[in-house]
Amino acid sequence: MGQKINPTGFRVGISKDWASKWYADKNSYADLALEDLKIRKFLRIRLEQAGLKIVEIERTENELSIILKVSKPGLVIGRGGMGVEELEKELKKLTKSKVKITAEEVKTPEIEAQLVGDYIGRQIKRRIPYRKVVKFALASAMDKGAKGIKIRLSGVLSGGNTISRTEQYYLGKIPLQTLRADIDYAQIDVHLIYGCIGLKVWIYKGELAL
Measure the CA–CA gap between 200 and 187, rounded to whole angstroms: 5
Q: Looking at the structure, do residues 140 and 96 belong to the same domain, yes or no?
A: no
- Looking at residue 76, its pLDDT comes to 86
Say if 1 falls within a structural domain.
no
Q: Looking at the structure, do residues 34 and 81 belong to the same domain, yes or no?
A: yes
CATH of the domain at 20: 3.30.300.20
Say if 2 falls within a structural domain.
no
Q: How many domains does the chain have?
A: 2
pLDDT reading at 2 higher than 70: no
Q: Looking at the structure, do residues 114 and 57 belong to the same domain, yes or no?
A: no
- Looking at residue 18, its pLDDT comes to 92
Task: Report the alpha-carbon angle 53-168-19, nearest 5.
Answer: 25
Q: Looking at the structure, do residues 137 and 115 belong to the same domain, yes or no?
A: yes
Cα 28 to chain center, whole Å? 27
Say if 169 falls within a structural domain.
yes
Q: Looking at the structure, do residues 31 and 95 belong to the same domain, yes or no?
A: yes
- Looking at residue 149, its pLDDT comes to 96
CA 119, 84, 75, 141 torsion-angle sign: negative
Measure the CA–CA gap between 161 and 153, rounded to whole angstroms: 17
Show the domain range for 49: 7-105
Q: Looking at the structure, do residues 35 and 118 belong to the same domain, yes or no?
A: no
Q: Looking at the structure, do residues 42 and 76 belong to the same domain, yes or no?
A: yes
Among 51, 82, 105, the domain-final residue is 105
- Looking at residue 93, its pLDDT comes to 87
Tell me if the pTM is above 0.75: yes
User: Per-residue pLDDT tens for 146-203?
Assistant: 999 999 999 998 877 888 999 999 999 999 888 999 999 999 999 998 889 999 999 9
C-alpha gyration radius of the chain: 19
Among 74, 105, 136, the domain-final residue is 105
- Looking at residue 160, its pLDDT comes to 76
